[in-house]
Structure 1
Amino acid sequence: MSEQRLDDIRREQRGVTKKQDELYDRQRSVDRLNDGIGTYFRQTQQRLQKSRETFRKNDGGRDFDELYSFFSRDAGKAMAALGDEKREIKREQQLLEEHDQALNKEKQKLYSEEETNEH
């Protein structure tokens, strides 16, 4: 019975490891997106700021301010969505880690029960 449970635990741990690897890949993708989008938004915001100053000199500041605020809101939403995804990944990683620790404890308990039964 305990031998079968040990096999089940090993199988579960392989599943946990696979899920952890998938989460790591997902986290790397989010980090790359975050870096790329963040760089794009910063560069675009700098360009818009320069254009804004030109428009203000030519009395088109109000229209440009609307465009600038739209861009800023959009950038904020994109970065917030990526932040939410990062938090979700961290939460899932923590749950998997806790599950793995529980499996390890159960495995250790089964090993110690086997040792006491052998003696």
Structure 2
Amino acid sequence: MRRPGHFDVANAVGAAIGCAAEAGLPLVDGDAMGRAFPEAQMVLPGLIGVANTPMALSHDKGNGIIVDAVSHHAAERIARAVCVELGCQISSADTVMRGTGSPTVSSPPR
């Protein structure tokens, strides 16, 4: 049974596929993590030198912060501290790159 407001990956994938199909645009699976949820410095883009900042963090009450850190590890530590202060549930947008770079940094299909 789903909790109210619960967001799962299946919903995100379905919405992305539907939007791309309707717009006639290609869709890239940009999964940089594989199966686990590693720390920011452990995802594939970070391992090959793609910066994970600027990183935008926010939560459902409207508070947000932009992180510009000196390293992936520092960004992870800052994001974790922000997460705790915002009630242990945040959303993030990070590792900004062009679509042309995504095939080199995405997880291979499982």
Q: Indicate the structure (1 or 2) with the bigger Cα radius of gyration.
A: 1
Bigger share in strand: 2
For normalisation by structure 2, the TM-score amounts to 0.22
Bigger share in helix: 1
For normalisation by structure 1, the TM-score amounts to 0.21
